[in-house]
């Protein structure tokens, strides 16, 4: 029986699920698609519109948090730590994930020079079709995720607050966000912050995304310099 993970390969929520499966030693096949094409695979699996989706026989999971918990049952204690770790995971899912996604999309949607990165891991025909469906895909993303100047500004303020919170949390010198070992809190923070930190070691090679506007690059440099930003780099270096 093959375990399948349906993804948008560059999605940070999909990276969260993928990292969890890797950390717990789960063998799986990734079924990657571009945003506008992924819906068919999701619907066939019994989902609605969002990824990641995990299919393992009769088991079907439609949320990254559920996938992390399922992965941990395969190698108990690998990721699920104290209650504080789960609380942080929930906060990051609700606050960090949407803000990082909207802010990054605002910077990247107008660009074509990163096509080779965003099409990695998808069927060749989807990569070729991108040139034809791009206007529709961009319109859907902008409308669905509120990728607007106002949305970008709100997301930037949200990210400022989250990085400040993690900076304060780690001011005591701790190496991990919850407890004395790597947990779901660290995995979730690192994977969901990755689009604005661009750590080396990310499967989608975020670090190769260059050419940002000076204002955007300065903001990413500012976040990266915080304890939270450095924690992202350390988790990808030491645990990914």
∠ Cα 144 45 204 (to 5°): 60
Q: How far is the C-alpha of 118 from the C-alpha of 194, rounded, in Å?
A: 15
133-172 exposure pattern, b = at least 16 Cβ within 10 A, e = fewer: eeeebbeebbeebbbeeebbeebbebbeebbeebbebbee
Q: How far is the C-alpha of 207 from the C-alpha of 200, rounded, in Å?
A: 6
CA distances from 75 to 70, 72, 191, 234 (A): 9, 5, 20, 23
Q: How far is the C-alpha of 140 from the C-alpha of 75, rounded, in Å?
A: 39
Count the Cβ atoms, other than its own, within 10 Å of residue 238.
Answer: 11
Rg (CA), the chain: 17
Supply the pLDDT for residue 151: 97
Tell me the backbone φ, ψ of residue 55, rounded to 5 degrees: -125, 120
**Residues of the chain whose pLDDT is less than 50?**
none
pLDDT tens-digit map of 117-144: 999 999 999 999 999 999 999 999 999 9
Q: Which domains does the chain have, with CATH numbers?
A: 4-74 (3.40.30.10), 83-239 (1.20.1050)
Q: Output the pTM of the full model.
A: 0.96
pLDDT tens-digit map of 57-86: 999 999 999 999 999 999 999 999 899 999
Supply the pLDDT for residue 149: 97
Q: Is-contact 224 199, C-beta < 8 A? A: no
Supply the pLDDT for residue 145: 93
Supply the pLDDT for residue 81: 85
Q: What is the dihedral of CA 99, 207, 190, 75, to 10 degrees?
A: 130
């Amino acid at each position: 029986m093959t375990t399948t993970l349906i993804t948008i390969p560059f999605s940070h929520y999909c990276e969260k699920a993928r990292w969890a499966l890797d950390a717990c030693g789960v063998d799986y096949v990734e079924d990657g698609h571009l945003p506008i094409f992924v819906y068919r695979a999701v619907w066939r699996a019994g989902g609605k519109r969002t990824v990641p989706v995990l299919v393992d026989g009769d088991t079907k999971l439609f949320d990254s948090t559920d996938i992390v918990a399922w992965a941990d049952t395969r190698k108990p204690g690998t990721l699920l730590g104290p209650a504080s770790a789960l609380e942080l995971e929930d906060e990051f899912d609700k606050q960090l994930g949407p803000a990082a996604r909207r802010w990054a999309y605002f910077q990247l949607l107008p660009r074509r020079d990163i096509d080779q990165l965003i099409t990695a891991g998808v069927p060749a025909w989807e990569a070729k079709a991108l040139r034809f469906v791009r206007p529709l895909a961009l319109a859907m993303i902008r409308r669905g995720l509120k990728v607007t100047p106002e949305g970008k500004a709100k997301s930037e303020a949200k990210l400022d607050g989250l990085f400040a919170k993690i900076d304060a949390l780690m001011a005591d010198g701790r190496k991990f966000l919850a407890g004395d070992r790597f947990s779901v809190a660290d995995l979730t923070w690192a994977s969901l912050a990755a689009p604005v930190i661009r750590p080396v070691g990310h499967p989608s090679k975020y670090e190769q995304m260059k050419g940002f506007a000076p204002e955007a690059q300065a903001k990413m440099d500012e976040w990266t310099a915080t304890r939270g930003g450095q924690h992202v780099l350390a988790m990808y270096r030491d645990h990914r």
